[in-house]
Chains A and B, each alone.
Chain A
Amino acid sequence: MKVKKENSNKLIPLILVLLLVAVWEAVVRGGLVPRFILPSPIDVLKVFVTTIPDMKEHILVTLQEALTGFAIAIIFSLILAMAMDRFPAVKKALYPLLIVSQTIPIIILAPLFILWFGFGMLPKIIVVVLVCFFPIIISLLEGLNSVDLDMINLLKSMGASKAQIFKIVKLPASMVGLFSGLRIAATYSIMGAVIGEWLGGDKGIGFYIVRVKHSFAVDKVFAATLVVIILSMLLFKVITIIQNLSMPWFRYVEQKK
């Protein structure tokens, strides 16, 4: 029963995607849109295969930027969330700033970072940190807040220190929340790097997309976009796998819900 349900859960979106792609293919083949404006899915796949060697170097750069930024964002969020959890005053002071920081469009900040930090990797990494940081810390803070108060009282009654309570109860309890934030941030990380490259630089998928767009190679734009999607999905999947490995008890808790 359960296997059947899981399969149908995966099957439904797959059928929808195939259906949409088929419509797209039919529209282009039927001549409703010229191919240089909108290439057909099969054209895109062909170009994807032939341009992968060209894109390889750019993919590696984008991945490096995204992963570095992602890692920095995780460390940064952990430290800050710990401080905010331990000292309510820190939370009161920083929480509004966190929200405000998210209201500034990244498209305005990215060119400034290029102005300040040049055309290398650094401004891209900063963009990635900025877009990843928020979902991670918010989910972590919510996780820390959602801990069963009785559990904390139980540990207190055992004479546990604040640090012990954090390590034994609060941090593990917030892991579920943390991982959902990490999954969102993982997909943002690739996007952040691409935006950074798009606005200035000479390497990376974002830079590649700008270059092929300027030469009106729309099929290559689509192929590169496919790369972005695949990279994001891969990171998303990796996070899920890490979660399942590090939290063997979690699958059950989820099922119970």
Chain B
Amino acid sequence: MTSYPNEKLTVKNLRKSFGDNLVLEDVSLNLMENEFVSLIGASGSGKSTIFNIISGLMLPDKGQVIINGQDYTGRTGRVSYMYQKDLLLPWLKVIDNVSLPLVIRGEDKKKAREKAAGYFETFGLDGFEDKYPFQLSGGMRQRAALLRTYLFSSDIMLLDEPFAALDAITRSYMHYWLLRTLKKLNSSVLFITHDIDEAILLSDRIYILSDRPAKIKEEIEIPLSRPRNKEVTTTELFNDIKKHILEIFAN
């Protein structure tokens, strides 16, 4: 296991309800530097609400979001957030879509473009700078969205089922691409999914969420060594972890 010197993000005792509908009962979790942590839960278990609160779009009824030791509850513009939909703006070229967070932050458009262009190769997008999003494949669009996410905030990224809309082959390709790429990026990632295999393959730790109202049911360390490749998914250890998670959900 990697050692994590710094705690990047701490979420303390989140509670949130919409009207009479209690969505989050008591959710606490943390994310260390360079760590990849997944949240698994059934659809509608409030995963996206947790992300909305961490990104500052929503205020919790109770609880705190602490980033690098500072209270960021209800403040936007600190962590980056990627959705299942790529949400690339159809009227902007890929390079302008990707450099959008820099422009919003007030950087010069030309400089923002130059900065973004430097990452196109790493993200498998070189040669597509001046294309429009509709000219890209589904996998490329998600990679462009991820690059935009990364350029917004490289140290903490929230990824909300980023590969759920892709076909199985592209999704699998994206998993290994992400594993390779994250090594170069120095990012801490909080990842939402309901795909157990995906979570085990990518994560250092997994939080299992209960059904509504959401609580953390269990926290699981994934002791699979890195770098991980296709072979990992057929090992006994992988299967044992999967069996264990399936049992948690069955209860």
Contacts and interface: CB of A to CB of B under 8 A. Distances in A.
Interface of A: 148, 150-151, 153-160, 164, 168-169, 172-173, 175, 247-249, 252-253, 256
A156 B57 contact: yes
Contact of B55 (A150, A157, A168, A252): A157
Interface string B78-98: 011101010101111000000
A154 B83 contact: yes
A164 B83 CA distance: 20
Contacts of B92: 172
A203 B100 CA distance: 52
A151 B87 contact: yes
Contact of B104 (A151, A158, A172): A158
Given A150-B83, A249-B134, A157 B56 contact: yes
A158 B76 CA distance: 7
B90 A249 contact: yes
A173 B88 CA distance: 12
Given A158-B76, A158-B100, A168-B100, A151 B89 contact: yes
Contacts of B101: 158
A248 B132 contact: yes
Contacts of B77: 157-159
Interface in B34-68: 52, 55-57
Contacts of A156: 57, 76
B184 interface: no
A151 B97 CA distance: 12
B89 A172 contact: yes
A157 B81 contact: yes
18 contacts: A148-B87, A150-B85, A151-B89, A153-B57, A157-B57, A157-B81, A158-B104, A158-B105, A159-B76, A159-B104, A159-B105, A169-B89, A172-B89, A173-B91, A249-B90, A249-B134, A252-B132, A253-B134
Nearest to B102: A158
A158 B152 contact: yes
A148 B85 CA distance: 11
A168 B97 CA distance: 10
| Residue from B57, B85, B89, B105 with most neighbouring chain A CB atoms (10 Å) | B89
B162 to A, nearest CB: 13
CB-based closest 4 A-B pairs: A159-B77, A172-B91, A157-B55, A157-B81
A154 B76 contact: no
B105 to A, nearest CB: 7
B105 A252 contact: no
Nearest to A169: B89
Given A156-B76, A158-B104, A175 B87 contact: no
A175 B91 contact: yes
Nearest to A246: B91
Contacts of B83: 150, 154
Contact of A155 (B56, B104, B134): B104
A157 B80 contact: yes
B91 A247 contact: yes
A9 B57 CA distance: 48
A154 B52 CA distance: 10
A150 B57 contact: no
A155 B89 CA distance: 11
A150 B76 contact: no
Contact of B90 (A155, A157, A164, A253): A253
Interface string B120-161: 000000000000111000000000000000001000000000
A164 B104 contact: yes
Contacts of A172: 89, 91-92
| Residue from A159, A248, A253 with most neighbouring chain B CB atoms (10 Å) | A159
A252 B87 contact: no
Nearest to A165: B104
